Each structure stands twice: as C-alpha cells, then as structure tokens.
Amino acid sequence: MSILKGILFDMDGVLVDSEHFIAEAAIKMFAEQCIYVEPEDFLPFVGTGENRYLGGVAEKYGYTINLERDKTRTYEIYDELVKGKLNPLPGIKEFIARCRSENLKLAVATSADRVKMEINLRELKFSDQTFHATVNGLEVEHKKPHPEVFLKAAEKLGLLPENCLVVEDAVNGIKAAKSAGCKCLAITSSFGKEKLTEADWVIDSFFDVPNEVFNWQ
C-alpha cells in the first residue's frame, strides 16, 4: 500500500520565485562574452540544472561554452542580484509547517548546483532543521527529466519513491517525478496549467493545496 510519508521539494519556482534572477544573471554572463540572449531562450531548459540551462542557450547562439567558468560567473552574478531580494513563494512556509505537523519527512531535490541551493536557502532563512535531507545537481549524474534526483532524495529519507510526493513547477520536473514512481503536486509559478497536465494535482497557490494531497493511498 502506498501511503504518503515524505515530501520532495524542487527548489526554484517551488520554495522561491528565483527564475527571473537566474535568467538575468545568465543574460549578464553571456553579455560579458558578447553574446546577447533573451529571457525566453531559457524556458525550454527550466528545471534541468544550470549545465543544460546555460549550455542549451549557448548552443542556440553557436557559442562554445566554458561550462565551469561561465557557470561560476553566473552564480557570482546571481549571488549579488538576490541579496535581500529573494522571498519564499506565498504559502510555502505554511505548507511546510503542515507537512511537519503531519510527521512527514522533507527533502530538497534540485537540479541546481550546491552553491545555488545554499544561496537560496540562506536568503530564505530556512533553519537547518527545516529539511531532513537535500540533494543538489552535483550529486546526480542524470538531470531532470531523469528521475535520479528524486530517487536519491527518497533514499536519503529512507523511503520508497511510491511513498513520496514531489512538489514541482516545471514540465521536466514533473516527468522526473512520475518516472521515479512518485505522486506529483505542481504549482503554476513558472508554467500554465495546460503545460502541467502530467501532475496528479495542479495548484495556483500553496494556500490552495487540497486535503487529498495528504490523504492518498
């Protein structure tokens, strides 16, 4: 029997509305290399981790990316851009509090590198006790839509994937969640409902989470 025991949170677009900041940072990085890109260029790569996020746009413009250098520079710009400006998504702290009151195990499972995860959690002022485990993009070989990040997060929590709910905002993340064998709750912070149809539940706000999200088997 599959009973909910754990929640696996994507980070960007779920815990925090950071997509426009990382896009701005990447645009500035590319501009330093005399490559001028547009915010919409990044949309196909949302949720896939910065390697693909930057690399996919570089390919579009025929730019040979120096991944480590350009990613490091993007994170430096991002760190400066977000200081004092990152806010948790409305209702997410209340949702996390409810999850903890239900005695569920919680994990962050992000395709982003550890440095970005740490910047975000620092700015959001989540305590060290908020999450029982974290998995970042440097800990997995295959990025979303591959399920590895969620499988590893469930393993770190000591749970089976079928006992976990993934909270996502991106199409690639939903595909990863379902491939892992998890249920999925999607929020429309990055994409419209019409793009998120593979999720089990779709919400516009964490204040609107239906009770059935906590009571399935």
Residue 205 shares a structural domain with residue 144: yes
* pLDDT cut 70: percent of the chain above it: 100
The whole-number average pLDDT for the span 86-107 is: 96
119/164 Cα distance (integer angstroms): 26
**Number of domains forming the structure of the chain:** 2
Catalytic residue among 10, 17, 113, 169: 10
Q: How many secondary structure helices (H) and strands (E) does the chain include?
A: 7, 6
* pLDDT cut 90: percent of the chain above it: 90
Q: What is the pLDDT of residue 127?
A: 83
- Per the structure, the complete domain to which residue 129 belongs is given by 6-17+86-213
Residue 10 shares a structural domain with residue 46: no
24-33: string of b/e by CB count within 10 Å (b at 16+)? bbbbbbbeeb
Residue 147 shares a structural domain with residue 50: no
Residue 23 shares a structural domain with residue 12: no
122/209 Cα distance (integer angstroms): 26
Active site (annotated) includes residue 204: no
More confidently predicted of 207 and 50: 207
Residue 152 shares a structural domain with residue 101: yes
The whole-number average pLDDT for the span 176-205 is: 97
Residue 49 shares a structural domain with residue 115: no
Residue 105 shares a structural domain with residue 198: yes
Residue 78 shares a structural domain with residue 105: no
Query: Does residue 1 fall inside a structural domain?
Result: no
| CATH code of 102's domain | 3.40.50.1000
pLDDT at 217 over 80: no
The whole-number average pLDDT for the span 62-78 is: 97
Compute the mean pLDDT over every residue in the chain, rounded to the nearest whole number.
95
Question: 62: helix, coil or strand?
Answer: coil
Q: What is the pLDDT of residue 48?
A: 85
pLDDT of 136-158, one tens digit each? 999 999 999 999 999 999 999 99
183/107 Cα distance (integer angstroms): 15
48/44 Cα distance (integer angstroms): 9
Residue 57 shares a structural domain with residue 146: no
Q: What is the pLDDT of residue 19?
A: 86
Question: Cβ(6)–Cβ(157) under 8 Å?
Answer: yes
Residue 131 shares a structural domain with residue 205: yes
Active site (annotated) includes residue 17: no
Residue 97 shares a structural domain with residue 187: yes
Residue 102 shares a structural domain with residue 200: yes
